[in-house]
Amino acid sequence: MNILVCDDIKTEADKLAEMLTNRGFDVNISVFYNAHDALAYIRTGAAVDVCFLDIVMPEVSGVELAQSLRDFGYAGYIIFLSASKDYGPESYKVKAFNYLVKPISLSDIKITLQELTDALNAADTASILVKTHDYSRNLPLRHISYIEVENNYVFFHLTDGTELKSRTPLAEIATQILSDSRFIRCHRSFIVNLHDIDTLKGNDFMMKNGATVPISRNNADAKRQYLKSINS
């Protein structure tokens, strides 16, 4: 789950980011201290599932930021933060997912993360049947960072840092998974999730978990598809 936090009070933004991590959920946090930077980040095409927005901020309020996000086409979840309950009605105008009253407790965070996880699971049901040595399981596509073939085994590297090992031929997997627009074949031995790429560096994709995925030297289309995905 990719989360954006925006609060003009740095200590509160950083505290919330810390509270959101290490709670048993797979999260990536991006923190901003003003609405302009947060909006600019979304406009780059960054994959953001959830925005936690403080309502009372100078120049541009959280509600105004949320409206700008919706006007831009952002369809992810928005959660407002405020020391007052007075702004509740305004949150409905931008289809907010939740409204948390400060001070926010760890219990509030855990409940909210679980609700978000459930909502994301319900919204994205695409999966692939993965057969390992011990069992078969339906693996949600959004949990796949990249797929690698090595020594006749296919390794599913997941966004939480774990991996699954399968004997299913990569050609069979590619037939299924490449029909989903978030995946591309960047190398004869690799399929990558565009949404889990952090940066493009030379002939490599640098993944959000720190892994490096090579791009075939003659595969300029993979780079074009990635650049298109971050600018769309």
What is the rounded average pLDDT for all residues in the chain?
Answer: 89
What lies within 8 Å, CB to CB, of 211 at 6+ separation is 145, 146, 157
β-strands 98-101, 77-82 pairing: parallel
- pLDDT recorded at residue 201: 93
Question: Domain range holding 217?
Answer: 127-231
Domain count within the chain: 2
Last residue of a domain, one of 75, 90, 123: 123
- pLDDT recorded at residue 89: 65
Last residue of a domain, one of 102, 123, 144: 123
Higher pLDDT, 22 or 210: 210
221 and 135 housed in the same domain: yes
119 and 6 housed in the same domain: yes
Q: What is the mean pLDDT of residues 174-193?
A: 93
Q: What is the mean pLDDT of residues 193-204?
A: 92
113 and 220 housed in the same domain: no
- pLDDT recorded at residue 8: 95
- pLDDT recorded at residue 88: 62
86 and 144 housed in the same domain: no
Instruction: Assess whether pLDDT exceeds 90 at residue 15.
Output: yes
137 and 206 housed in the same domain: yes
Nearest to 66 by CA among 99, 108, 26: 99
- pLDDT recorded at residue 53: 96
- pLDDT recorded at residue 216: 94
CATH number of 13's domain = 3.40.50.2300
- pLDDT recorded at residue 212: 96
Residue 91 DSSP SS3:
helix
Q: Is the peptide bond before 214 cis (omega within 30 degrees of 0)?
A: no
pLDDT in tens, 205-229: 999 889 999 999 888 899 999 988 8
pTM over 0.85: no
Last residue of a domain, one of 95, 123, 151: 123
For the chain, the first-to-last Cα distance in angstroms comes to 20
- pLDDT recorded at residue 87: 62
- pLDDT recorded at residue 69: 92
114 and 218 housed in the same domain: no
56 and 89 housed in the same domain: yes
pLDDT in tens, 149-172: 999 899 999 887 888 999 999 999
138 and 226 housed in the same domain: yes
63 and 173 housed in the same domain: no
pLDDT in tens, 43-84: 877 768 899 999 999 999 999 999 999 988 888 899 999 887
CATH number of 172's domain = 2.40.50.1020
179 and 88 housed in the same domain: no
Instruction: Assess whether pLDDT exceeds 90 at residue 174.
Output: yes
- pLDDT recorded at residue 232: 56
